[in-house]
Amino acid sequence: MPRSGVVGWKPSVLRQARQDKDWNLSELARHADLSRTAVSRYEKDGGSAPTPEALQRLAAILGVPARTFLDFQVAGLAGYRAVAGLTQDQLVDAVADPDLNVQTYRALESGRTRKLRTAQARSLAAFFGVDEEEVRTAHAHSVRRRQEQEGAGLTGGSAERTR
């Protein structure tokens, strides 16, 4: 799992998309307005992952849907937010559901809240443009990832920093 950035990042997809364009690291970095070092880290297995904003730029420049770069069984709800190119705060503002505040969404995305209410699933599904079952599945992946992290003693540190 990457040390930072979007959860569920697949470095090999970025490598392949760059190679399909016949670009080297420097060319992709220049087009995406990123440093060559950052792009190199994004392509390295176990390296860094881009922010949601950088993910959006890379996807647009390479002509690849942003969701292609993520493994949603790992990413969970964070993946949908990353594909939208939003921080957690921005997502909550954009969803505009009076029953969904930043604290509640953070708990859902991190898997700390294990029960996704019907109204929350409906609001998130409408915003993400997917059905409610897909949102429920993504949330279940977030809960599972949290349980695995707890089992490995990883919660409370950088594993929760997904903003």
Residue 79: pLDDT over 80? yes
Give the global pTM. 0.79
Do 82 and 60 reside in the same domain of the chain? no
Pair (148, 99) in one structural domain = yes
Question: What's the token pair of residue 139?
Answer: 């949330």
The pLDDT value recorded for residue 106 is 95
Residue where one domain finishes, among candidates 30, 47, 69: 69
In the structure, what pLDDT confidence band is assigned to residue 14 with cuts at 50, 70 and 90? very high
User: What is the residue-averaged pLDDT of the chain?
Assistant: 90
9 pairs with which residues across the strands?
A: 70
> What is the pLDDT at residue 4?
64
From 69, 92, 113, the end of a domain falls on: 69
Q: Which residues contact 2 (CB under 8 A, 6 or more apart)?
A: 9, 11, 46, 47, 48, 49
Residue 153 has pLDDT above 90, yes or no: no
Q: How confident is the model at residue 155 (pLDDT cuts 50, 70, 90)?
A: low
User: How confident is the model at residue 74, as a pLDDT?
Assistant: 87
At residue 48, φ and ψ (nearest 5 deg) are: -85, 165
* Among 69, 102, 117, residue at a domain's last position: 69
Span 120-146, average pLDDT? 94
pLDDT for residue 151: 87
The answer to whether residues 90 and 28 touch, using CB atoms and an 8 Å cutoff, is no
Domain span holding position 111: 72-160
**Segment 22-76, tens digit of pLDDT:** 999 999 999 999 999 999 999 999 999 999 999 999 999 999 999 999 998 888 9
Q: Which contacts qualify for 84-90: CB closer than 8 Å, 24 or more apart?
A: 84/52, 84/127, 84/128, 85/52, 85/53, 85/55, 85/56, 86/52, 87/52, 87/163, 88/162, 88/163, 89/163
Both 77 and 153 in one domain: the answer is: yes
